[in-house]
Chains A and B, each alone.
Chain A
């Protein structure tokens, strides 16, 4: 048993940390978040050059063959820098879905352009009524002589605005909540009948709602087996949930570090506020809470790598804890910063808002705790 990172993983962490320090200052990030794209194409090219876009893909498509630990390292460092670029939607959702279920042709058509930074993708699976429930799918794909006709709406699609290709979950059989009968389709976002409305979230991301008005799809747009999409989605989202929890861990570390630092420099009543015992205890609590998240994250990362039998439970536990701890940590960070914590100028609020959005991505605290309860206690 060991919890050490390999030489390569340490180098990866180091290089991302250096990149954020040198090339991704908070002010620069603010500029990016205010730009029309909500991301920097220049930075994305740089990610490609540095090889980061290749890491989770297998060698046969030009990837690096990295696993959950590598992804976790990347996302944790991205969290610290509040990176806006669409690594999650393009690489870990769109790319990994194709990697997991695509045909040989689809893999060789789409993974290399992701790796070299030319193709941005997205995964459209949420619907207006679905909340966090993955099997709640009303969008329909009806087969016809040429392939399929896609009809329905998808919401809060991460990176929807900039994605040239979108993978869409749609019902090919069954009723609204059935686990069977959901299929995955590859759709070009400029196809006839695709309407897109993009809007910005409080963490700076630009997301989209898509309307598909009888969009014609060729038969080879299907990814994986017909009607068997949910299992593919669940597998990819499970890994993505661990990845986004790693991002959350990086944010929590930064919030704790910055708050501790502030408490040592801000003086009231002639002393640093960090000398007040009540604040000391609360910072001890957030420190311990962070360590607990880290442990459950490592448990999940190991579980994914070793395909542990209880991985489903562990990941639900992780996301529930990330939600709960996130609120505790950003809550204390804001409170201990006093008025400064309420400003847009300081980064504290921006870390907090990203944690709030992470809590709603791939299901919130209660959603995952409910699933955990069901698996454990019936």
Chain B
């Protein structure tokens, strides 16, 4: 058992640090902060990562991956988080990319993979439906065969950033025979196709990232089917495990906690620093202790994966604990911001009337409620662990 870094790892860390320091400049940071320039910022940042060859560390080298060891990946993630840089948009690089290189045909790989790496297409995920959330396999959006095309009808909901998307990857029903999982196919759909309508859903944080996507007689060429018809559920499941590991976000939570600690040091109540308040200290250390453990839980999972194991039920553990920790830090930030946590972003935002961090605390906390709901809710993850790990039926 050994977790120390080799000299090669240390010099790799220096390279990573140096790259982030120069590439993630102030102008870009500003762009990320405003919703109107957010999309451009995401694309610009991902292009910079691509130029450096670092956009998809988890991909196999032959498709554009970096070939890093799990230690290098860990270093990269930690440095990214401590530089305050967000993860890349998950939908292309993290989600549909792996499905395409694992289950797609040559033509699909050739066309889509480079475009994903270069951020030429913005992808969104069309799984959930109004009637099918946790019970995803009950989905009803149907794709009916019509010569060389499918005709797609139905509706997807909670589709993050569909308003920006060029493409959507969908689970659609191609058969109603047998088990509900057995009639699902994985289809790539160009968002500009006639018959697609995107209706915004404003979320609790007053922003627009969620959407309902309606499909009315949408023609999709059969060449956009991934793998075989009615096998889509298997493909999607392999992707969900990927998604869940990513959701843990330990490195980001660590940084957020450190940030909270620094803000609490400056915040004063009755002439005393908030950081010296025993009740506040208890809140903070409860989180930090769990986080110290979770970081090593994540490393243990990564090591298993590196040794050829598949991220199975452990990814559920990471998702549950990781999202609980994220929410706990977001709550701490609200605690520090006190009444300024409520200030909306209007003519006089929080920066002007109160704290510089109140607005960000509010947005993160409110939207953060979703982390225990999406990517398979935490209740569903616990069902997975109960069944797969504890053997409880």
A345 adjacent to chain B (CB < 8 Å): yes
Q: B386: nearest residue on chain A (CB-CB)?
A: A278
Query: Distance in Å from the Cβ of B338 to the closest Cβ of chain A?
Result: 6
Q: A197-B348, A339-B373 are in contact. Are A356 and B379 (CB under 8 A)?
A: no
B346 touches A199 (CB 8 A): yes
A345 partner residues in chain B, CB cutoff 8 A: 201-202
B271 partner residues in chain A, CB cutoff 8 A: 133, 136, 176-177
B133 touches A360 (CB 8 A): no
Partner among B277, B338, B339, B344 whose Cβ is within 8 Å of the Cβ of A370 = B277
B289 adjacent to chain A (CB < 8 Å): no
A360 touches B277 (CB 8 A): no
CB-contacts of A334-351 with B (<8 A): 334-335, 338-339, 341-345, 349
Q: A197 to B268, alpha carbons, bound, how many Å?
A: 24
Q: B372: nearest residue on chain A (CB-CB)?
A: A335
B268 partner residues in chain A, CB cutoff 8 A: 129, 131
How many residue pairs at the A-B interface have CB separations less than 8 Å? 134
Q: A199 to B135, alpha carbons, bound, how many Å?
A: 42
Q: A132-B338, A202-B362, A339-B158 are in contact. Are A279 and B379 (CB under 8 A)?
A: yes
Most buried by A among B343, B353, B354: B353
Of A12-20, A222-230, A288-296, A361-369, the segment with at least 4 beta carbons within 8 Å of chain B is A361-369
Q: A369 to B279, alpha carbons, bound, how many Å?
A: 8
CB-contacts of B186-204 with A (<8 A): 201-204
Q: A334-B369, A342-B370 are in contact. Are A155 and B135 (CB under 8 A)?
A: no
Interface residue total, chain B, C-beta cutoff 8 A: 53
A11 adjacent to chain B (CB < 8 Å): no
A309 adjacent to chain B (CB < 8 Å): no
A203 touches B339 (CB 8 A): no
B270 touches A136 (CB 8 A): yes
B202 touches A200 (CB 8 A): no
A269 touches B135 (CB 8 A): yes
A342 touches B280 (CB 8 A): no
Q: A128-B354, A200-B344 are in contact. Are A342 and B373 (CB under 8 A)?
A: yes
A46 adjacent to chain B (CB < 8 Å): no
CB-contacts of B305-361 with A (<8 A): 331, 334-335, 338-344, 346-349, 352-354
The digit string for A191-203, where 1 denotes a CB below 8 A from any CB of B, is: 0000001111111
Q: A177: nearest residue on chain B (CB-CB)?
A: B271
A199 touches B377 (CB 8 A): no
B166 adjacent to chain A (CB < 8 Å): no
B141 partner residues in chain A, CB cutoff 8 A: none
Query: Distance in Å from the Cβ of B340 to the closest Cβ of chain A?
Result: 8
Query: Distance in Å from the Cβ of A30 to the closest Cβ of chain B?
Result: 12
A199 partner residues in chain B, CB cutoff 8 A: 343-344, 346-349, 353
A366 touches B279 (CB 8 A): yes
The binding surface of chain B is classed by DSSP as mixed
Q: A341-B369, A344-B206 are in contact. Are A360 and B353 (CB under 8 A)?
A: no
CB-contacts of B268-299 with A (<8 A): 268-271, 274, 277, 279-280, 283
A360 touches B203 (CB 8 A): no
B269 touches A133 (CB 8 A): yes
A339 partner residues in chain B, CB cutoff 8 A: 128, 133, 157-158, 210, 370, 373-374
B382 adjacent to chain A (CB < 8 Å): yes
Q: A194 to B192, alpha carbons, bound, how many Å?
A: 55
Q: A237 to B240, alpha carbons, bound, how many Å?
A: 51
A331 partner residues in chain B, CB cutoff 8 A: 369
Q: A203-B342, A344-B206 are in contact. Are A155 and B354 (CB under 8 A)?
A: yes
Query: Distance in Å from the Cβ of A35 to the closest Cβ of chain B?
Result: 14
B134 adjacent to chain A (CB < 8 Å): yes
B204 touches A342 (CB 8 A): yes
A299 adjacent to chain B (CB < 8 Å): no
Q: A269 to B132, alpha carbons, bound, how many Å?
A: 9
A338 touches B204 (CB 8 A): no
The digit string for A152-195, where 1 denotes a CB below 8 A from any CB of B, is: 00011000000000000000000011000000000000000000
A201 touches B369 (CB 8 A): no
CB-contacts of B102-141 with A (<8 A): 128, 132-135, 138
Q: A270 to B277, alpha carbons, bound, how many Å?
A: 49
Query: Distance in Å from the Cβ of B316 to the closest Cβ of chain A?
Result: 15
A54 adjacent to chain B (CB < 8 Å): no
B373 touches A343 (CB 8 A): no
Q: A201 to B348, alpha carbons, bound, how many Å?
A: 11
Most buried by A among B280, B283, B331, B354: B354
B378 partner residues in chain A, CB cutoff 8 A: 335
A209 adjacent to chain B (CB < 8 Å): yes
Q: A202: nearest residue on chain B (CB-CB)?
A: B342
A342 touches B344 (CB 8 A): no
Q: Can you report 16 A-B residue pairs in the complex whose CB atoms are below 8 A from each other?
A: A197-B353, A199-B348, A202-B341, A202-B342, A268-B134, A327-B331, A335-B373, A339-B133, A339-B158, A339-B210, A342-B370, A344-B202, A349-B366, A352-B204, A353-B342, A369-B279
- Closest 4 pairs between A and B when the two form their complex, measured CB to CB: A201-B342, A349-B204, A133-B270, A268-B135
